[in-house]
Each structure stands twice: as C-alpha cells, then as structure tokens.
Amino acid sequence: MADAFTEEEKRILEPYFTNLDKPIFAFTSKVPEEVVAVLFSKYSRSPHSIRKNFLDLVKDPESGFKGILDSVGSAGSNDAFAAALTKARDFFRRILVEYGDDSVGELGMAHIACEDVSQIAAKAIESARLTSPLEKSTRYVVFDKGKYHKPSAIMNSKFRAEYAALCDELFETYSGEIEPTKAFVREKWPIAEFDFNGRKISQMTDEAEIKRTRTAYESSVRAKALDVLRYYLPAATVTNIGITANGRAFEYLISKLLSDELEEIREIGKLMHDELSKVIPSLVKRAAPSNYLIETKKGMRTFAAAKLSGMKIKKQPTVTLVKYEKNAEVDVVAAALYQFSHHPLSQLQKAAKKMTAEERMKAIDEYMGRRSNRRERPLRAAEAAYYQFDVLSDYGAYRDLQRHRVMTQIPQLLTVEHGYDTPPEIIEAGFGSQFSKCMKKAAAVYRKIAAEMPLEAQYAVPLAYRIRYIMQFNLREAYHFIELRSTPQGHPSYRRVVQEMFRQIQAVHPTLVHYMKFVNMDEMDALGRLKSELRTQEKLDALARKEKNI
C-alpha cells in the first residue's frame, strides 16, 4: 500500500523522487549519494519506507539535512550550505557506522574522470572488477604528439634524453603515417568494390544514401588506419578514463592504487581519494595504503627472482588452454537440473554421470538451445565449467581484452623479451623498415632502463610488443566474452585470440559450446567496422528525419 503524505510533505518530497504514489520509484539527481546510502541502509532496521525515512531526515535537527535543502532552495550563502553539509556528513558517518560500513558502502555511487594517465596506469585502474570504466579509444581518436607520461624516476635519471627521444620518435612516426596509411587502405579496399546492403555505390541514386555510405566508408578507413598504427604507441601514451562505481569499490580501488609500486599509480590513487572525499567522503574514508599488498609484492618479486633465476623461458603458442575440468559436461548438466529439482547436488551429479551422451546433449539443448542472439547468455549452471588460458599477445590486444572483469586475469610485467607483432598492412604500405627500426630502438632503450628500473622501463615499450597473461573464466562468461570479441568490427589481434580460445574449448568440450553459435570465425574483414558504421549513419539519418518532422 502506497504511503499517504500531507500536502506539505508532498511539497518536500517531490523534487527528490520520481513519484509519490507508486511502490517503485527512483531518486532524482538532487539527492546526494551519501543520502541514498543512508536511506537504503535503513531498510534493514526500519519499518518505514524510504520516503518516510527521508522526511525523518529533514525533520531531525541533528541531521543537518534541512539546512542543505533550505540553502539550496533559497539560494542561500555558500557558507550556510557548507556548514549544513558538514553537519549532515558528520551525522551520516554515525549512521554508516551503526549500520555497517562495508555493505552500506555499496549503496552510494560516484563518477570520476581520470585524465592524462598512461596505458600502464589505465590497466591498473581498470583491473578493479566492480567498477565500470570507459576509456579513450585507439581506434577513434588520434593520440597527440608529446602526450606521454614522463615518470620522474626516468626523467631524473641518465635515461631522460633517450626515453624522451624514443617516445618523440614513436609519436612522430605514428602521426606521420596516418594519412599515407589511410590512402593505402582506400587503394587496397576501394569503396567501389564494397556491397552496401546488397548494392554497390555506383548503383545508388539517392544523394542522402550516397553521402551516408561515403561517411561510413571514411569512418571505417580511419578506424582501420588507426588500428594498424596503434602498434607504434608506447605504453607511456596518456589516455582518459571515466569510472562509475559504488563507495566500497572505490575504497578498495584507491587502497590498491596507493599500494602500487609505480609512483604514477600511487599519485592517481591520492588524487582520486582527494576528489571522491569531496562527494562521498563517508564512503571512502578508510581508503589507505595496504602494508599487506606492498610487502606481498615486494616479497614475491624477490622470491621469484631468486627461485627462477637462470630458468630458460619456454616458447609456447599465442593461446594455450592450460586447465579445464574433464567432467565439466556432467557438472553443467547437474547444475542445470539442480534449479528445477529438490535433490542434493551430489545426487544430481551421479544421475548426470549415468546419462548417455545423447541424454546429456538433450539436457544442454533444453538449457541453452533457445538462444536467439549473443546477448541471451546461458543461465548460471554454465558457471560450473572453468577454463584457464595462458595468453601471449601484443599489448594492444591485452589492453582491449583486459576490460572484461568477470574473470581472473593475471598479467606479467610488460617487456620486450617476447618480441613484437607486425601488422601486415604496415609492410604492404611500405613502412616495414621504419617500423622495425622503431621497435629495435624501443627494445634498446627498454633494456638500458630495465637494468636499473624494471618497473619504469615498461613505459618505453610500444603496444606492438607481446605480454603474457592468464585469463580464467567460466563457460557462461566464455559465451559472452568470445562471441562479443570475435565480431567482425573487433580489432584483428584480439579476434585471433578469442577465436583460438573457441577452437581449444571446442576440442575438449564440443557439447558445451555447441550453442555458442554467435562466434564469428571468419577471416579478418578488410574493413571490419564498415557495416557497423553504415548502421550508425542510417540511425543518425533516421533520427535527423524524425527531429525535422517534429
């Protein structure tokens, strides 16, 4: 039954809630996140609704909340607002302690922008599983010359000049080859040869359609050129990241950043803490360097260096399936039956084991067979099967794949010792010798710096060089991850990684991936984003026509 409010109470509540008479409602943007956290936390110990508790906050002289509303509503002085806000936050801290910090920290959200951070720092930030980051794209944005991180450890050392000269040369080469590479792409894949929705551009008569098609083509040409040339960019290249997360996730992320071995990442953690303390101070108040993380990293780095010294690095393929459950099919069928029965799991596992292969296939068909698009993921029983891969790919591919956080990812340090990948287009366009020269120079500078500063030396490594990392995920995530990252508009380097993952899972568990039917195993498309860009242009045109009619 909906709450009944007086006219005065409605006047107070209306700016802060999307409705006052329904059991489902949202907060408006005028409600501070800490207030949301306090109100949600009261659900556990209050018999009243959120809107009733909101009114109690306004009426409680200790909360300071009425002072905030009065200051905003009457355009009061900044001093009055600041005093009310301080009082309110002191009150909120007491509430949060009473109701339990950890769980309440998940109820308040914040948004923060991190700009001019290196690729190395970006990966450290994005490794936090419970945040939602969005990063500047190497495909759609030209990275400016001179925009690279200059770590003080290097810039205050004898390597300063060589490091700066390397980064400058990499950026100069990257920038200088953009237009020639676009010209090469147009020549190799001319617009006249493409079918656009079953027709060539020479067959089109509508000017709007021709314009739309040319725009999509040029966008794809640019994306292709930048995809190729990103291999030049050093890991020092700065980027921008927007992050949305709750207070608890931010608190952990900040502690992790403050405990990192690199000065840049620690400084980002400090700045992030400073800024979030202005908007959700009660929810990030415990963020601090972790002695556990600091000493563990230091101890393990020393132990690994001593224990593995002299051990030759074994060569292996780009993608290696290291570990999987041989009885995964039985485990998935048992877990699928579990939700629709009243039997214990051990009994269902025995039953699934006794089934014939055809019977298990029937169960999997019922469980996964009705998928009509890649966004319809299998239900949670698919999480009963796990796969662990050891991957060695170019850093650019890792940079993209690492964004999938619903899995275990463990990267090694970035180095030049695993070699680098050369896009075939670089050679075909006539830039092969220049590319090779840049990579060799980067390796030389890296090795000089790494002899004294192995962590900081990573900044000098171009995205073309390979990095080794573990990716471990369950079958359900495999459906999402492999189907998404194999789409034609994806970058060729990471498409090859996930396509090989699919092949290797299929080799050991063909039944479990039988319904992974939206994996694209085609060869790399000439202009993979062309169809996607064309759809975008069509949508924009349709929206423009609609707005014009309105």
**CATH code: domain of residue 392:** 3.30.1360.170
Q: For the whole model, what pTM was predicted?
A: 0.86
Domain that holds residue 342: 311-414+465-514
Are 288 and 152 within 8 A, CB to CB? no
Q: 170 in a domain, yes or no?
A: no
Are 333 and 364 within 8 A, CB to CB? yes
Beta bridge partners of 355: none
Among 107, 129, 147, which residue terminates a domain?
A: 107
Q: 22 in a domain, yes or no?
A: yes
Q: What's at 233, amino acid-wise?
A: L
Neighbours of 181 (CB within 10 A): 25
Specify the number of domains making up the chain.
2
| 195-198 contact pairs (CB < 8 A, 24+) | 196/534, 197/534
**Model pLDDT, residue 98:** 54
378 by DSSP, 3-state: which?
coil
Q: 364 in a domain, yes or no?
A: yes
What b/e sequence results for 406-441 when a residue is b if at least 16 CB atoms lie within 10 Å of its CB, and e otherwise?
ebebebebbbbebebbbbebbeebebeeebeebbeb
Beta bridge partners of 390: 320, 470
108 by DSSP, 3-state: which?
coil
CA–CA separation, 289 vs 257, rounded Å? 8
**Model pLDDT, residue 81:** 56
CA–CA separation, 369 vs 508, rounded Å? 20
Q: 497 in a domain, yes or no?
A: yes
Cα separations in angstroms, 200 against 57, 197, 224, 530? 65, 8, 21, 13
Write the secondary structure of 211-278 as one string of H (helix), E (strand) and C (coil).
HHHHHHHHHHHHHHHHHHHHHHCECCEEEEEEEEEEHHHHHHHHHHHHCCCCHHHHHHHHHHHHHHCC
Are 33 and 110 within 8 A, CB to CB? yes
- 199 backbone φψ class: left, alpha, beta (φ>0; ψ -120 to 50): beta
**Model pLDDT, residue 91:** 64
Are 241 and 114 within 8 A, CB to CB? yes
Instruction: Please give the full DSSP string across 474-492, using - where no structure is assigned.
Output: EHHHHHHHHHHHTSTTS-H
Question: How is residue 142 annotated by DSSP?
Answer: P
Q: 21 in a domain, yes or no?
A: yes
Are 409 and 467 within 8 A, CB to CB? no
Residues 6+ positions from 362 with CB-CB distance below 8 Å: none
Q: Crossing angle of helices 492-508/475-485, nearest 10°?
A: 140
Q: 352 in a domain, yes or no?
A: yes
Among 67, 82, 107, which residue terminates a domain?
A: 107
**Model pLDDT, residue 104:** 65
Q: What is the mean pLDDT of each run of 10 residues along the chain (550 residues)?
A: 83 90 84 75 77 84 66 53 62 59 69 93 91 88 91 97 98 97 93 83 87 88 93 96 90 96 96 90 88 96 93 93 96 97 97 96 96 94 97 96 90 97 96 98 98 97 98 97 92 95 97 95 74 71 66
**Model pLDDT, residue 73:** 47
Q: 383 in a domain, yes or no?
A: yes
Neighbours of 271 (CB within 10 A): 14
Q: 114 in a domain, yes or no?
A: no
Beta bridge partners of 394: 466
**Model pLDDT, residue 74:** 44
Burial of residue 139 (CB within 10 Å: 0-12, 13-18, 19+) is middle
Among 107, 134, 151, which residue terminates a domain?
A: 107
